A and B are shown apart, each in its own frame.
Chain A
Amino acid sequence: MFVPLLVLRNAFRHKLRTTLTIVGIIVAIAAFGMLRTIVDAWYAGANASSSARLVTRSSVSLVFALPLTYAQKIRQVDGITSVAWANWFGGVYINERNFFAQFAISAPTYLAMYPEFVLPDDERRAFLADRVGAIAGRKLADKYGWKVGDQIPLRGTIYPGTWTFNLRGIYDGAQEGTDTSTFFFHFDYLNETIKRQFPGRGDQTGVFVEELSNADDAAAVSQAIDATFKNSLAETLTETEKAFQLGFVAMSEAILLAIQAVSFVVIVIIMAVMANTMAMTARERYGEYATLKALGFSNGFVAMLIYAESVGIALLGGLLGIAATFPLANVFASTIGAILAGFKVSRETLMMQLMAALIIGVVAAAIPAWRAARVRIVDGLRAIG
């Protein structure tokens, strides 16, 4: 008990200094965790993707639509069991700040292809039966307080006019990482309305989604699909759903790299602050260390005292920082959850936070401990008086 008691009492000798250091570590560790979680959330869509699904889009760009007639030809490619399609709607709910993803889908096939969207049978039937019906993910419905039966108006930006949908169901995620912040409605409703208003824009969709009979055939089937439409007016690019999602992530790669770099810079900064604190602390106590050595305590014991104090403070700050990450993440998720759907503090992030706190403690103590261990007793004793 002697050593822990000595370390604890030493750690809180300068209460203000220690408290401020701990606060700094809390902020740094929480910020590190938040930034890592933001990066993780960016990849969450890709990580939750199925390897048994392919996505086909225009080879030129995602903004160019594909003819709906492609569905029949895709269905004939060997290795495909089902084809669905989805189209980005891009509507505004009340005002532009309320961003969330909205897709017009070929509802029966699409829902069958995505078993991770768990919808009660009665709500599924009601949605499929209602031409202007829609379903929303749980997170999205909770955010805006929607209930089944509500009417949801969206102002079209790509497709003009106000589109009002009947909310027929609220789906949950089968897995923890499943996105439940998306709004789905019937492609047929969109297509028929557009064909009436803008005949030239009808019977087109943004992407086709294919279900594979064997996920191992993904590469061959992708090539077969793209070969089918080679030299057509709308050539295709087919890739796994994961690659498709990573394509979106890649567009933000520079930002992600910057976020990752900042997360490590935060740790390096607090490491320097902590090292300065420990250096000051050790310098003030050279006389005491010299006394301990004179009494027979070893150089290693003196170094151990400094390491224990530094690591103790860093771990305390680290644990509090980890605890602070959860409410911070909740606030962040409720604010921009629809943009970063999979916003959740992962176990890996928690481990990285803990490791970061440990490294801060060890690195910060290294030089002060080395110096204190080497200080000559007579020199240290001279510091007293």
Chain B
Amino acid sequence: MTAALQRATGPAAASASESGAVDRASAMPLVSVRALTKYYVRGDQVIPVLVDIDLDVAAGDYIALMGPSGSGKSTLLNMIAGIDKPSSGEVRVAGVDIARLSDADLALWRATHVGFIFQFYNLMPVLTAFGNIELPLQLTSLSRRERRERVETALALVGLTDRATHLPNELSGGQQQRVAIARALITDPTLIVADEPTGDLDRTTAEEILGLLERLNDELGKTVIMVTHDPKAAEKAHRLVHLEKGVLVV
């Protein structure tokens, strides 16, 4: 699977993935967060969300961000994934300070480097499982045949080959989340971010999804950062990071 994905995304992605293995071995951080602060302004009131965060995530690592509601864990994840910008500080992913990228460059960067898994799956309701998984590949220069091969591989990996033509509303929650995982994986990204990936699922299905994430990490060497409330989900991670009121608790 990894080889097939790397072939399709080209040498840059392939080298990134390979370098991930090297980074993991040498413990060089893939993600480096320094003095990160995020606050919102409501009228004359400044509401801090994240305060002076320093965090390193090694390539190939699997970390769980935990903390009570409002602690800032999803905000931190959004900063690392490049869908929100810090008020101050630095977020470097694979050496790139993503906080300094323009919106257009950041969009391009996300397309290449980040796979997203959301709590509510966020699938396009008008596209089939196949179409949803193929979605990120529409931004690449891959041919239709190459795209099809990659999607079929991803569908097989998440065990949904027989559901390729089903629309999201014809799939169970667990199946939808597996489609979302396949979509996150399809561009062979540097980093996979998951925001409460089991938050909407029953225990058995949640276990299946967590098993899939483990395989992504163990077998494909993907770096996974997961926000969760669920201690059992967090147990699967290599490392736990706690946040309380926007501050990292070691």
Contact = CB atoms under 8 A, between A and B. Distances in A.
A293 B107 contact: yes
A381 B196 CA distance: 13
Given A296-B110, A298-B104, A378-B84, A384 B139 contact: no
Contacts of B116: 291, 294-295
Given A10-B126, A291-B118, A291-B122, A377 B138 contact: no
B51 interface: no
Given A9-B126, A9-B127, A296 B139 contact: yes
Contacts of B84: 376-378
A381 B118 contact: yes
Interface in A336-385: 376-378, 381, 384-385
B107 A385 contact: no
Interface residues of B, number: 27
A9 B138 CA distance: 17
Interface string B149-186: 00000000000000000000000000000000001000
B122 A6 contact: no
A261 to B, nearest CB: 41
B180 to A, nearest CB: 10
B110 A287 contact: no
B136 A6 contact: no
Interface string B112-151: 1000101110101111000100111011000000000000
Interface in A1-60: 2, 5-6, 9-10, 13
A325 to B, nearest CB: 33
What is the interface of chain B mostly: helix, strand, loop, or mixed?
helix
Interface in A281-330: 287-288, 291-299
A381 B75 CA distance: 12
Nearest to A2: B138
Contacts of A9: 126-127
Contacts of B108: 296
B110 A295 contact: yes
A298 B107 contact: yes
B217 to A, nearest CB: 21
Given A6-B126, A9-B127, A378 B118 contact: no
B28 interface: no
Given A9-B126, A291-B118, A295-B116, A377 B111 contact: no
A9 B128 CA distance: 11
Interface string B3-21: 0000000000000000000
Contacts of A378: 78, 83-84
Contacts of B138: 2
A6 B127 contact: yes
B128 to A, nearest CB: 10
Given A295-B116, A298-B107, 5 more contacts: A9-B126, A292-B135, A295-B110, A299-B103, A385-B120
11 contacts: A2-B134, A13-B126, A287-B122, A288-B124, A288-B125, A295-B135, A297-B111, A377-B84, A378-B78, A378-B84, A381-B118
Interface of A: 2, 5-6, 9-10, 13, 287-288, 291-299, 376-378, 381, 384-385
